[in-house]
Amino acid sequence: MRTVNNELLVDYVSKGFIHKSEIALFRKIQDVRLRYSLFLNDKYERRLDFLQRKLSKYSINSQQILEQRRTNNVGKTLYSKSID
């Protein structure tokens, strides 16, 4: 069985290369382990900053893709109807 780089996979989803529903077809839970971590305030804050930057990056990627799609679809319609 192969492992997948989950961070790269999330990047691809955020950029619109693949859909979450496609991933769900192949994803299955194999093992669940509980792990507790005790963080000091400075470590907690650094971790929180890291996750915020990561979330912002995905948000910016998503906004850029939507803007590209909007600019590429200007003037296009779903179907064209000719009037004779």
> Is the predicted pLDDT of residue 78 greater than 60, yes or no?
no
Average pLDDT of the residues in 41-58: 91
Structure tokens at 70: 């909007």
**pLDDT tens per residue, range 11-45:** 888 888 888 888 888 877 777 888 877 778 888 88
Band of pLDDT at residue 5, cut at 50, 70 and 90: confident
Residue with tokens 């509980």: 34
CA distance 55 to 18: 18
What is the three-class DSSP state of 24? Answer: helix
pTM assigned to the model: 0.45
